[in-house]
Structure 1
Amino acid sequence: MNDTSPFFSPISPDGLASYLDRIGYEGDVATSLSCLEALHLLHPQAIPFENINPYLGLPVRLDQGSLMKKLITQGRGGYCFEHNLLFGAVLRKIGFKVRSLAARVLWQLPAGKIMPRDHMVLMVSLHAERYLVDVGWGGNTLTKPLLLGNDQMQATPHEPFKLQNCDGIYTLSIQLNGEWEPMHQFGLEEYLLPDYEVISWYLNQHPDSLFVNHLMAARTTKSERLALKDDQFTIHPTNGVTEKKRLGTPGEVLDVLQDRFGIRIPEKKALIDRLRQRVF
C-alpha cells in the first residue's frame, strides 16, 4: 500500500480499519475497481451528509485527526470537504492514485448565476482509466464511480448520471423524472488542503452561507434517499413516489436526525434553541 502524498495527511492502518468497520466493508482491500465501487456505495449509506457544526457556529476542522474523530469515532457526518478528504485518504492508503479537484455548483440555480468552486470531488486513476469519485454531494450523491471520457448515460445503483466534457471542463448531470439536471462543473486542476480550508471557512462562517442559515442532512440507503432541510423531511424511494413530511417541533427534527440519518447529535439543547430561533 502506498499512502504517501506531499499535500494531504495520511491515514493510519488503525484508522483505515476503523473506517472500513464504520461503513461495513468486509471485502478484499485492493486497488481494484470492485473494491472502489463497493467503498463508494457503502460510504454514503453509513456516513451521512450534515451541517450541524456550521449551523451551530461550531468549527469545521479538516485535518485528518479531526475527520476521523468526528465522522468515525463520534458517529457524525459532515459536508463535502470532510467526506471527500477522508475518502481520499482511505483510497490513498489502499494504494489508489487520487487527485483532489473542485467543482462549481450548478444545481437548481437560475440562469446566469455563477458560483465559486466550493464543492470538492476526487479523480481516481486506475488501470489507464480515470473516474469521478464523490461521496460528499448530499441528497443526490454518487453511489458509484463514473468513468471520465464517457459522455453517455452511466447507470449507478440509484439514478443515471452523465459526464460531458467541453474543452477540459466536465459537467455532471443527473436524470430525474426523465429529465437531465446539471449538478456541477469541474476541471482537472489539482486542489490542495489549504485551498479547501479557505473555501470551507467561507461556507462555515459567512453570514449568507446556506450552511450557516439552514439545517441540512442527507443519507442514501439501498432503496431510497433521505433529505432534511430545516423542518422539511423528504424520502425519495429508488422506485416509487417521493414523500414529504413537515416536522412540527425541534424534538421531531432531532428524532429524525438520530433515527433516520443515524447522527449522534452534539449540543442537543443548542440545536433545539437554534431551530426555535430560525424555523419554529
Structure 2
Amino acid sequence: MTSRPTYSEQQLELYLERIGYSTSGGRLQNLRQNIDQDALGTLGELQRRHIAAIPWGNSALHYSQHHTNSLNPKWMFEKMVSRRHDGYCMESTGMFLIVLRSLGYTVYPTAGRVSHAAVKGVDDGLYLAFNHMVLIVCIQGEKYMADVGFGNNCATSPLPLQEFATAAFIAPSEMRLVKESIAEFENPSQKVWIYQVRYNPDSAWLPQFCFSDIEFLPQDFEVMNFSVSQSRTSMFIKTVICTRMLLSLDGSEVKGQCVMAGREVKRRIRGQTEVLETLQSEGDRVAALAKYFDMHFHEDEIQGIQGMTSEII
C-alpha cells in the first residue's frame, strides 16, 4: 500500500502557531484532546483559523524567479508556514489534507470543477475542467466537505454531504450542497455534489464548483497543478490575487474578508464593501501585501514580476 505523507509533531506545532490555534501551552496536546471530544467542532475551528491566517493567492507565480507552484509537502510547509506566504487551492488544501491526516482524521481528496458563475459571473450551468481540490472528511460514519482553498467564496465550515444542508457563510450570506446533474453530462442520471452560495436570503443560489466523493490521487493533482499554474489561459498567471478571511474578536465566526485583485484592496464585512487602497505601482502592491496579508518578499522575488503582464506599470 502506498504511504501518504504526514507532518512531524514539531511541524504540527508550528502550523498551529501559524493559524493562531490556542495561545496556551501544549497546543498539540490540547488539540488532540479536543479532537477526541468533538472531532467535527475541532475540524471546523481548524478550517476557520486556516482561512483567516493563510491567504489564498498566487504570489509565487508572479513574485519569484521560478514562477511555479509545487505540491511537495515540504515545499508547501516552508512556503505557507515558515515563510508565511499564500497558496492557492491545491497548495493550501493540500497542506491542510496532510495536517488532518497527521492528526488522525480519516480524510481523502477529490477534485472539483469550478463553475462559470464563479469565474465569469455568468450562471450558464457550465463548468471548467477539473482544477480544484476538495477534501472529504469521514467522522463517525458521516462524510463532510472541507475546503480551505476557494478564495473569497471558500466554505467557512465543514458541510455534511447532505442535500440542501444550508449553513451560515459570512452573514448575511449562506452556503449549501445540492446533488444534481450538470448541463454537459450526456447521461443526466449522473449526479454530483454542487457547492452553492447566496449573498442574502432574497438572492439566487449560485453554483461555485461541483465534485463527487471519489478519491483522486496525488498524480491527478500534479497534472491539474501544472495546467492551472502554467497554461497561458489560466487566470492565475494573468493577475495577482490574494484573499484572507477575517474572524470575529472571539474567533468563533468568519465576519468578512480582505481581498486584493488588480489594483484595489477591499475589505468586506457582513455584506458591506470598503476600498482600503488603490495601487498605483509595484511598490504599492508589495507594501499592501505586507500590510494587509503579512506577506514579505525577498528582493529577487520582487524582481521576478518585471516584464510580466501582471506587473503594475
Give the TM-score normalised by the residue count of structure 1: 0.90
Residue aligning to 1:229: 261
The residue that corresponds to 1:164 in the other structure is 178
CA distance in structure 2 between the aligned counterparts of 1:104 and 1:277, rounded to whole angstroms: 25
> Does the 8 Å CA contact 1:8/1:192 hold for their aligned counterparts?
no
On the 8 A contact 2:280/2:312 being kept in 1, the answer is no
Q: How far is 1:155 from its partner?
A: 1.8
Seen in structure 2, the aligned counterparts of structure 1 residues 277 and 76 have a Cα distance that, compared at 3 Å, is closer
1: distance between equivalents of 2:288 and 2:101? 34
Instruction: Assess, with a 3 A threshold, how the Cα gap between structure 1 residues 207 and 44 changes in structure 2: closer, same or farther.
Output: same
Q: 1 CA distance for matches of 2:58 and 2:307?
A: 13
User: Aligned partner of 1:15: which letter?
Assistant: Q
**In structure 2, how many angstroms separate the alpha carbons of the residues matched to 1:89 and 1:6?**
15
Instruction: Give me the whole-angstrom Cα distance separating, in 2, the residues matched to 1:190 and 1:211.
Output: 25
> Structure 1 vs Structure 2: percent identity of aligned residues?
26
Q: Compare 153-162 and 139-148 and name the one that shifted more.
A: 153-162
Amino acid corresponding to residue 94 of structure 1 in structure 2: L
* Number of residue pairs aligned between Structure 1 and Structure 2: 275
Q: CA deviation at 1:262?
A: 1.6
The answer to whether 1:98 aligns with 2:101 is: no
CA distance in 2: counterparts of 1:203 and 1:263, whole angstroms: 22
User: For the Cα contact (< 8 Å) 1:9–1:63, is it kept in 2?
Assistant: no
Question: Cα deviation per residue 1:3-29 (whole Å; 9 max; x = unaligned)?
Answer: xx8363111121111111111112532
CA distance in 2, matches of 1:269, 1:22: 24
Deviations 1:105-153 (A, max 9, x none): 0114342643111010101010121111000111121221111114132
1:53 aligns with 2:64: no
Is the deviation greater in 251-260 or in 112-121?
Answer: 112-121
Q: CA deviation at 1:265?
A: 2.3
Counterpart-to-counterpart distance in 1, 2:231 and 2:62: 11
Q: Report what 2:93 is aligned to.
A: 84
Counterpart AA for 1:37: G
Bigger mean CA deviation after superposition, 154-163 or 182-191: 154-163
The amino acid across from 1:14 in the alignment is: Q
Compared CA separation, residues 108 and 67, structure 1 to 2 (3 A): closer
Amino acid at match of 1:145: P
Structure 2 CA distance for aligned equivalents of residues 275 and 231 of structure 1: 15
- Indicate the residue corresponding to 1:22 in structure 2: 18
8 Å Cα contact 2:238/2:309 also seen in 1: no
| Post-superposition CA distance 1:52-76 (Å, at most 9, x none) | 1123452211111111111111111
Match in the other structure for 1:241: 272
Counterpart contact for 1:103–1:118, Cα < 8 Å: yes
Query: How has the CA–CA distance of structure 1 residues 58 and 198 changed in structure 2, closer, same or farther, with 3 Å as cutoff?
Result: same
Hey, what does 2:233 align to over in structure 1? 208
The amino acid that maps onto 1:161 is M
Partner of 1:118: 131
Deviation digits for residues 218-257 of structure 1 (CA, Å, limit 9, x no counterpart):
100113211111212221112x521234322222211211
Q: Secondary structure at the match of 2:168?
A: coil
Aligned AA (2:146): V
Give the aligned residue type for 1:182: P
Indicate the residue corresponding to 1:258 in structure 2: 290
Moved more, 96-105 or 221-230: 221-230
- 1:10 lines up with 2:21 in the alignment: no
Q: Could you tell me which residue of structure 1 aligns to residue 161 of structure 2? A: 148
CA distance in 2, matches of 1:37, 1:269: 35
Structure 2 Cα separation of the partners of residues 234 and 194 of structure 1: 36
In 2 relative to 1, CA 250–131 (structure 1 residues): closer, same or farther, beyond 3 Å?
same
Q: CA deviation at 1:210?
A: 0.9
